[in-house]
Amino acid sequence: MIIGICTCEIFIFNANSLKSKRSVVKSIIEKSKNRFNISIAEVGDNDKWQKSIIAFSTISNEQKVVEETMDKVINFFDSYSEIEIISIKRELL
């Protein structure tokens, strides 16, 4: 059994308040959950209105499947014009 954990630090363009930041982050989290069947949450920078840290995990019997899912989720994040990924940390257990 392989567990993949990925942490992404993102910058949110045009977020001028915590409310507008939460709107973008909530959209990303909900759409990612529904599309990829992953566990995902905002895990850091909750009080900063233009930054966020989002972590997600996936599990499979095969390492290839875990890595492909992580790649797809990161590409999905990249498709959002409202954000830019600052850093990505991946871990396989």
Instruction: Tell me the pLDDT tens digit for each residue of 35-48.
Output: 999 999 999 888 88
pTM (two decimals): 0.89
Instruction: Tell me the pLDDT tens digit for each residue of 16-28.
Output: 898 999 999 999 9
What class has domain 2-92? alpha beta
Cα–Cα–Cα angle for 37, 23, 49, rounded to 5 degrees: 115
DSSP state of 77: H
Q: Which amino acid is at 88?
A: I
